[in-house]
Structure 1
Amino acid sequence: MQLDPRDRVLLQQVQDNFPLDPRPYRVLGEVLGMPEREVMGRLTGLSRRGVIKHIAPILEPGSVGIRASTLVAMRVPEERIHEVAAIVNEYDSVSHNYRRDDDYNLWFTIAAADEEELLGILEEIMRRSMIPPGDILNLPMVRRFKLDVRFRFLAEDDDDGRG
């Protein structure tokens, strides 16, 4: 997909230096020499084209009280996949709920303040979904690998996109 130079510089700035400000798009516009409205319009267009999935912070779990997490895989009967996914989605501590083409066809993560809270959430999901324990894999994090994935939207010889 072709991106114009101003979209490229905007994406690089959003990824690397998103401003913590009540009006972040205005600040981005000031940095990049474009009006706030243009920044918002370009980001909306990039989202509609599927270039941007969403803009969100990535938090360090321990700094916000998250001390336990796990990946859960469930073997859910095909005719119940939407029903069970809806139950799982009701929990604020659940993220990354995905359907997979596999025997274990529903995968999600749970994050909680501690192991006791995490297990309570998982047990409640099991009870409400009526998925038998033998059809659930609880895969707690043993070792954390932190990756900082960055995409390069600008080549080394590109200008700053202002002109």
Structure 2
Amino acid sequence: MPSFDIVSELDSHEVTNAVDQANRELQSRYDFKGVKAEYELQDDTVTMVAEVDFQLQQMLEILRGKLTARKIDIRCMEVKKPDLSGVKAKQQVLLRQGLDQVLCKKITKLIKDSKLKVQSQIQGEKVRVTGKKRDDLQDVMALLRESDVELPLQYNNFRD
């Protein structure tokens, strides 16, 4: 029976490259000359450090551009409120990956409401979809691409 998994994953190597490129661009930009500003990547969190709030907004746009250029969907970004303290401004950007229980339930409900002849099961941080025909599975993929899900979805482990 054909099946596939619905997941939400980030390529950590591409994220690292995007943050490195953003740091390099900061060093070469005229409006950041002589300003102490940088990006720090730890696990799935990018911390932006600058002198004022306006620079953080500029840095966020640079980061979005670099992630997009590296084919990382920016819907995975969760931007926290800036922490403004005296001579330093900090802001964290969480890069979310993995489907939480609420989103898994939303996806399975969407699939069930579509009346396609497939079954969906929640398995940890992924949803497995099985069906008798490969075309039904492709219809599920098309349905999810058109739906409004807050995280980028990938489809892997396709078995025929």
Normalised by the shorter chain, which TM-score bucket?
Answer: 0.3 to 0.5
Structure with larger RCO (C-alpha < 8 A, sep 6+):
2
Q: Whose radius of gyration is greater, 1 or 2?
A: 1
